[in-house]
Chains A and B, each alone.
Chain A
Amino acid sequence: MSFAEYIDLFDDNILFLLEQHVILFAIALAAAIVLGVTLGTLVHRFRGLGMLIVPIVNVLQACPEIVLLALSIPFLGIGISGALIPLFVKGVLPILRNTASGFASIDPRMIEAARGMGMSPLQVLFRVEVPAVLPIVIAGVRISAVMLVSVITLTAYIGVDSLGTMILQGISRMDMPPLLIGAGLTALLAVTVNYLLFGLERLASRRVA
C-alpha cells in the first residue's frame, strides 16, 4: 500500500491517534507540573524530606521507562491505568529536581536584601524567588515534556492508543506507511514541544537577566 492510499484509507484513524497522544500528553504534563513544583518546593523547604526523596529520585531517574512500564503491570494491569506509573515518574522527576535546585541556587543575600527593604514574605516569594526560579523550572518542564511524548509511545505496548500504536503496527507487520507516519509525527511532536518550551525558557530568563 502506498502512502497516499494509506492516508486516504486511515486518515481518521491517524487523526484519532494523534489526538489521543496529545490529550494524554497534556493531562500528564499538567499533572507533572503541579506535582513536580509542589514536591520540589517542599524538598527545598524541608531538608529532611529532601534527604528522603533525593536518593529515590536518583534511582528512579536511572530506571528505564520500559522497565517501569513492565514492572507496573501486575499492580495496575494493562491499559491506561498501567501507564500511570511511568508517566507519573518520568514526568515529575525533572520538574521536581529543577524546582528544588532552582530554589537552592538563589543567592541568600538577595532574599535578605529584599527583606531588608521591607518586603513581606509573600512579596519576597512572588517578586524575588519566583522570577529567579521560573526559567529553571521551565527547563525542567521542557525535559519532562519531551520525555512524556516518548513514554506515551511506549504505552502502546500495554494497549494505550497513541501514535506509538502505529509504530508498533508498522514494525510488527513491516508496513512502512504506518511506521513512518507514526514515527514521523511523534518526532515532529517532540521537536515542536521542545522548541516551544525552549522559547518560553528564553523569554523567562531574559526577564531575570
Chain B
Amino acid sequence: MSLYDFITSRWTDIVAVSWWHLRLSLMAVGLALGIGLPLGVLCHLNRIAAAAVLNTVSMIYTVPTLALFGLMIPLLGIGVVPAIVAVVLYSLLPVVQNTYTGLANLDPNLCEVAIGMGMGRWTRLFRVELPLALPVIFAGLRIAVVNAIGMVTLASLIAAGGLGDLIFRGISIMSWNLVLAGSVPVLVMALGADFLLKLAEQRLGRNREVATP
C-alpha cells in the first residue's frame, strides 16, 4: 500500500490518536505546572527547601525516561495514571528550575523599590516578582511541553496509548507506513509547540525589558 493510501484510509484514526497524545502531554504538563510553580516559589522563599527540592527534581530528571516508566509499574501498575505520573515527574525540573532562577535573577533594585514602597511579601511576589519572572518561567514551560510530547510516545509501552502505539507496532511488524504515521505527528507537535511557545515567550519578554535611563 502506498503511503498516501495508507494515510487516507487511516486518517480519522491517526487524528484521534494524535489528539489523545496531545491531551496526555498537556494534562501532564498542566499538573507539573500546578505542582512545580509553587515548589519553585518555595525554593525562592526558603534556602533549605531550595537545596532539597532542586536536588530531588534534578535527580529525577537524570533518570532515563524508559527507566522512569519502568519504575512506575511496580508502584502504580500500567495505564494512563502511571504514564502521566512519570511525565509529570520528568517535567518538574524545567518548571521548578526556571521559576527559581527567574525569581532569583530579578534586578535587586526593583525588589528594593517594591519593599521601599511598602509592599508586603505576598504583594511583592504576585505583583512584581512573578510577573517579571514570567518569560523565564515560560521558557521552562516550553521545554516541559516539548519534552512531554516526546516522552508520551513511550507511554504506549505501559498501555497508555498515544502515537507510540503506531510507532512501536510499526517497528515490530516492519511497517514503514505505520512508523511514519506515528512519528510525523509527534514531530509536528513537538516542533510546532516549540515554535509557538518561543514566539509567545519573546512577546512576553518584550514588555519586561528593564528600562535603563
A–B: direct contact at CB < 8 Å: yes
A interface residue numbers (CB < 8 A to B) = 58-59, 62-67, 70-71, 73-74, 78, 146, 149-150, 153-154, 157-158, 164, 167-168, 170-171, 174, 176, 179-180, 182-184, 186-187, 190-191, 194
Task: Give the docked Cα–Cα distance between A151 and B149 (Å).
Answer: 16
Are B150 and A182 within 8 A (Cβ)?
A: no
Size of interface on B: residues with Cβ below 8 Å to A: 36
Task: Give the docked Cα–Cα distance between A169 and B194 (Å).
Answer: 33
Given A62-B191, A67-B186, A149-B64, is A182 in contact with B70 using a C-beta cutoff of 8 Å? yes
Are B64 and A66 within 8 A (Cβ)?
A: no
Are A70 and B170 within 8 A (Cβ)?
A: yes
B interface residue numbers (CB < 8 A to A) = 59, 62-71, 73-74, 146, 149-151, 153-154, 157-158, 164, 167-168, 170-171, 176, 179-180, 182-183, 186-187, 190-191, 194
Are A67 and B59 within 8 A (Cβ)?
A: no
Task: Give the docked Cα–Cα distance between A65 and B190 (Å).
Answer: 11
Are B70 and A64 within 8 A (Cβ)?
A: no
Interface CB pairs A-B, < 8 A, 11: A58-B194, A62-B190, A62-B194, A66-B150, A70-B171, A71-B179, A71-B183, A74-B176, A171-B70, A184-B67, A186-B66
With a CB–CB cut-off of 8 A, which chain A residues contact B63? 186-187, 190-191
Task: Give the docked Cα–Cα distance between A67 and B183 (Å).
Answer: 5
Task: Give the docked Cα–Cα distance between A66 and B146 (Å).
Answer: 13
Nearest CB in chain A to that of B154: its residue? A66
